[in-house]
Chain A
Amino acid sequence: MLDRIVFDLFAGLAILSAILVVTRRNVIHSAIFLITALLATAGIFLQLHAEFLFIVQIILYVGGIMVLFVFVIMLVNLDVALHQMQFRRQWWVGLLLAIALGAEATAAIYIGRLGLPGPETAPPASVLEPNTELVGHALFTGYMLPFEIASVLLLVAMIGAVVMAKRRT
């Protein structure tokens, strides 16, 4: 019951703001709505008993990536962009593609619905507790190598970003 309310609230918020992200003309507004969409997603995570992921989402995505986005938007802020055409001329092609994809995926899910066990068969939420410890354990034992690779990836990305944005003087 309460569960349901929470889910509908967050899901609706997420989808609504996602649509706004794609349709807003002003980039800053898009960014704001993306933030809300991300927060809504974080709420969904919370509802799925993924507290750690929830806070990671907030700290990394909202507190980190989105700040970067806003920052860059302000650096390259173009007033002319507001008067330019915001969609490509072939926008309907993309729309059709997306709709087709959606139809196909819906069909797939619908077909496979019987394979999906209902929520009643889901294990109790307690198996994901204590969430942080479990995630940490998984990260540092089973997924050690990917973890390291991810760190290397981050390093490379950092260097690349610096090189890219560095003013040629």
Chain B
Amino acid sequence: MTHALQASLEALKPFLLPLIYAVAIVAVLPLLAGYLVLMERKVMAHMQVRLGPVRVGPHGLLQPIADAFKLLLKEDITPENADRLVFWLAPMLSMTAAMLALAAVPFGPGFQIADLNIGLLFVVGISSMGIFGIVLGGWASNSHYSLIGALRSAAQLVSYETAAGMAVVGALLLAGTLSLRNIVEMQENTGVWFIIAAPVGFFIYLVASIAETNRAPFDMPEAESELVAGYMTEFSGFRWALYFLAEYTNMIVVASIATTLFLGGWLRPFPTTHWLNFLDWLPAALMLGLAGYCLYRTPKQPVAIQKLVMVLVAGMFAAFAAILLAPMVATHIAGATSMALMVASWKPALLGGFWFLLKVFLYIYLFMWLRFTFPRYRFDQLMRLGWQFLIPVSIVNVMGIALGLALHRQWGWPYGVALPTTTVITLLIAAALARTGEKKEKDEAVVGEFWGTGRDA
């Protein structure tokens, strides 16, 4: 009996670490999303010369938590003759898909739930299942706005997945493997991030990922001005929160894919140039700086509680700094004790995580920047951009990279010559495509009329 228990425990041992990681992610993710929302609001506010949320906590630092409570306490309305099953299923579906996709993402060396040898495809495929959440939700709530939003998003996501996939394939050719972890290591070995080797691919992925996360300027499915809130119109309370969470999770997912594929994952800038090693100290220094800034701001807070919160935040940053600092200094302090060695062995994981998150946040910041910069596309324009420009260009890009690699491997051109050459060729072709694309204006009417009017089409 105990043996059986023993055996089963033994059998379960390899699942332990992933389990911990998974729990950590699921626990942290909502918080992260919440603070992303805060970040977005703050960024928007400052871009529009406002203050944004300032009431709840210093600089509105506690706003996300308040929002979360509000959403949880709100009444959960299910419309008349909505399809209950689907209405219940849809938000969870998109949430699940979004979170499941994170399972294969390597946040740092070793800090990864599962290193699948098809990791990249896994992430792409699973995240593509998020569509169902949207479509079914829109359909189930039995409202025209929702349905039109749903149909639009379905069309949009299907269209842009192709482009994104092609862009990914480009990086895939460079890496020669599907395992995300190996991709990062490949970039380490090559010494450059793939964004330098395949800038066109990165650009395509950037646009496509914006479209895939339904964000401005491609936020057709939830265009406030046309469809009240698109597929989310009829949702409220917790379900709505789930959708919201899913959206931000999706942003994180695409951001981490971009990071992994093009921005060198957990690698610090120029990982192989040794005179830049001092960059390893940067994270800790940054954290310390933030902590100091918070302390400096503390006296300026109007209310006592806010002062307290500021202090706490400063403490948190200080703790981060300590954690980041520990592996760097462990051996110097405690000598080569096993404990110290173990702590030191965390170094790559911790630093990697830091860099990874930094890149992800930068990428998302880029999203926000674009959102507050560009006006919304019309739907037919969106479709034309996707089908008549992005997809062809991405295909050309794949061919170009393949050609570049062939030049590099078969004819022995230096890596730094072959790929730029093909990149230039790709850019030229893309320019030609853009020129011809402008001539197709007349098609807009038809396309828009077909896609724009959803169910009645």
Q: Which A residues have a C-beta under 8 Å from some C-beta of B?
A: 2, 26, 28-29, 32, 35, 51-52, 54-56, 58-59, 62-64, 66-68, 70-71, 74-75, 77, 130-132, 167, 169
Contacts and interface: CB of A to CB of B under 8 A. Distances in A.
Contacts of B139: 28, 70, 74, 77
Given A28-B139, A51-B117, A62-B129, A75 B122 contact: no
A interface secondary structure, majority: helix
A169 B157 CA distance: 27
Given A70-B139, A71-B155, A75-B457, 13 more contacts: A28-B83, A28-B136, A29-B86, A32-B132, A51-B116, A51-B118, A66-B132, A68-B158, A71-B135, A74-B454, A77-B139, A130-B117, A132-B178
B105 to A, nearest CB: 15
Given A29-B86, A74-B150, A67 B131 contact: yes
A52 B125 CA distance: 12
A70 B158 CA distance: 12
Contacts of A59: 121, 124-125, 128
A52 B155 contact: no
A127 B453 CA distance: 52
8 contacts: A32-B86, A52-B121, A59-B121, A63-B129, A67-B135, A67-B154, A71-B158, A131-B117
Contacts of B117: 51, 130-132
Nearest to A55: B121
A26 to B, nearest CB: 7
B221 to A, nearest CB: 13
B147 interface: yes
Contacts of A71: 135, 151, 154-155, 158
B89 interface: yes
A151 to B, nearest CB: 13
A98 B117 CA distance: 40
Contacts of B155: 71
B377 interface: no
Nearest to B11: A2
A47 to B, nearest CB: 15
Interface in B344-364: none
Interface in B214-228: none
Contacts of A52: 118, 121
Nearest to A54: B118
A28 B151 CA distance: 14
Interface string B253-294: 000000000000000000000000000000000000000000
B296 interface: no
B67 to A, nearest CB: 31
B413 interface: no
A77 B455 contact: yes
Q: Which 4 A-B pairs have the closest CB atoms?
A: A63-B128, A59-B125, A58-B125, A55-B121
A87 to B, nearest CB: 21
Contacts of B131: 63, 67
Contacts of B136: 28, 32, 70
Given A28-B139, A63-B125, A63-B161, A70 B118 contact: no
Contacts of A130: 117
B101 to A, nearest CB: 11
B16 interface: no
Contacts of A35: 132
Contact of A132 (B118, B140, B150): B118
A5 B83 CA distance: 33
B151 A67 contact: no
Interface in B75-100: 83, 85-86, 89
Contacts of A56: 121
A74 B86 CA distance: 14
A32 B84 CA distance: 13
Interface in B113-151: 116-118, 121-122, 124-126, 128-129, 131-132, 135-136, 139-140, 147, 150-151
B446 interface: yes
B168 to A, nearest CB: 12
B446 A70 contact: no
Contacts of A32: 86, 89, 132, 136
A57 to B, nearest CB: 9
Contact of B85 (A29, A54, A75): A29
A26 B83 contact: yes
Interface string B433-457: 0000000000000100010001101
A160 B3 CA distance: 63
A38 to B, nearest CB: 11
A169 B457 CA distance: 13
A167 to B, nearest CB: 7
Contacts of A29: 83, 85-86
Contacts of B11: 2
A77 to B, nearest CB: 6
A42 to B, nearest CB: 9
Contacts of B457: 75
B455 A74 contact: yes
Interface string B184-219: 000000000000000000000000000000000000
